[in-house]
C-alpha cells in the first residue's frame, strides 16, 4: 500500500516552477477560489484517502472568518491548518534527524543540530513552498500576504540556497509545508516512511555539511573573538531603520531594512564580514 500511495515520479524542477514568472503567479488563492485539489495531489505525488485533510492543510485561519467564499473545491466546514502544522513540524524534525544521523555518522550532536535547524527553519520551508507552487493553493483572507510572497520570491533569487536571516520570510509559506507533511502523516496511518518518500524530493536541495553557512552575526562574533577584536553594533533603527557595525572603533559595516529590525541587524553583520579582511590585514601588518 505504501508503494501505491507514493509511487508518482516528481516532475523536474523546471516543470514545477516554470521559471520566475510562473512562481510570481499568485492568483486565485484568496478564500480558496478555483483551487484544484487533484493538481495539488499531483504536485505532492500523493493521493489522499481523506481529501478533507488536504483541504485543511491549505486553509489559513483567516479564510474561516469569511462567510461568502465562492470556492467549489473546499467545503465550508473546513478547519485551519494549525493542528496539522503542529504534527508536521514534529514529524519533519524527526525525519531530518533520522536522515542526518545515519547519513553523517561522524558528526556530533552540535553540528547535527545546526544542520537540522537549517533544513527545517522558516526560510528553508518557505522556499520549498514557492519552488513547487504550493503557495498558489493557500486559502486565506490576508490582504498583504500575496505582496509579501512576491517580494520573498524576488529576494531569494539573490540567495540560491539560504539567506541566513537576510530576507523577510512569510511564515505562512513554511506553515503549509509543515501542515502538508502532517496531513500525509495522518492520512497514511502515521507512516514515517511514506511521508519521507513523498517529501524528500520536495525538500531538495537538502542543506549538507558542505553547503551549510554560518549566521552572519554568529560568524562575525566568532571571527572577532578569535582575533581579539572588539565589535560593537550601533542601533540606528529609530533614526533610519538601520545598524552600524564598528570593529576596533572603526566603521566597517552598515545596513538598513525597513521591514524588520532583526534583518537590518543581520545585514549589517554581513556587510561587516565583507569588510573585516581590511581590519585583520591592518592588525597583523602592525604586529608584523
136-170 confidence digits (pLDDT tens):
999 999 989 999 999 999 999 999 999 999 999 99
> Where are the CATH 1.10.1520.10 domain residues in the chain?
2-203
Residues of the chain with CATH 3.30.160.20: 216-287
Neighbours of 99 (CB within 10 A): 17
Q: Residue 64's pLDDT is what?
A: 85
CATH code of the domain made up of 216-287: 3.30.160.20
CATH code of the domain made up of 2-203 = 1.10.1520.10
Under 8 Å between Cβ of 137 and 29: yes
pTM: 0.83
Mind listing the pLDDT tens digit for each residue in 168-197?
999 999 999 999 999 999 999 999 999 999
- Nearest-CA neighbor of 235 among 247, 244, 225, 223? 244
Nearest alpha-carbon partner for 56 in 33, 30, 84: 84
Amino acid at each position: 500500500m505504501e508503494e501505491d500511495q507514493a509511487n508518482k515520479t516528481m516532475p523536474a524542477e523546471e516543470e514545477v516552477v516554470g521559471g520566475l514568472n510562473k512562481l510570481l503567479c499568485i492568483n486565485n488563492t484568496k478564500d480558496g477560489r478555483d483551487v484544484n485539489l487533484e493538481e495539488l495531489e499531483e504536485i505532492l505525488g500523493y493521493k489522499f484517502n481523506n481529501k478533507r485533510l488536504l483541504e485543511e492543510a491549505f486553509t489559513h485561519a483567516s479564510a474561516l472568518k469569511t462567510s461568502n467564499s465562492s470556492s467549489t473545491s473546499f467545503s465550508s466546514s473546513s478547519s485551519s491548518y494549525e493542528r496539522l502544522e503542529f504534527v508536521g513540524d514534529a514529524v519533519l524534525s524527526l525525519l531530518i534527524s533520522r536522515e542526518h544521523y545515519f547519513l553523517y555518522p561522524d558528526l556530533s550532536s552540535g553540528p547535527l543540530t545546526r544542520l537540522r535547524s537549517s533544513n527545517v527553519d522558516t526560510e528553508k520551508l518557505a522556499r520549498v513552498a514557492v519552488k513547487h507552487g504550493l503557495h498558489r493553493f493557500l486559502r486565506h483572507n490576508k490582504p498583504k500576504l500575496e505582496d509579501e510572497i512576491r517580494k520573498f520570491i524576488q529576494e531569494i533569487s539573490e540567495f540560491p540556497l539560504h539567506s541566513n536571516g537576510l530576507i523577510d520570510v512569510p511564515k505562512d509559506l513554511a506553515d503549509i509545508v509543515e501542515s502538508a507533511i502532517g496531513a500525509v502523516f495522518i492520512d497514511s496511518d502515521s507512516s514515517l516512511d511514506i511521508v519521507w518518500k513523498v517529501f524528500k524530493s520536495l525538500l531538495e536541495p537538502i542543506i549538507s555539511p558542505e553547503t551549510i553557512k554560518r549566521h552572519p552575526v554568529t560568524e562575525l562574533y566568532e571571527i572577532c573573538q578569535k582575533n581579539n577584536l572588539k565589535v560593537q553594533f550601533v542601533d540606528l533603527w529609530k533614526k533610519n531603520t538601520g545598524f552600524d557595525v564598528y570593529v576596533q572603533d572603526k566603521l566597517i559595516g552598515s545596513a538598513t531594512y525597513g521591514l524588520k529590525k532583526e534583518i537590518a541587524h543581520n545585514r549589517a553583520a554581513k556587510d561587516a564580514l565583507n569588510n573585516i579582511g581590511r581590519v585583520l590585514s591592518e592588525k597583523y601588518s602592525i604586529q608584523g
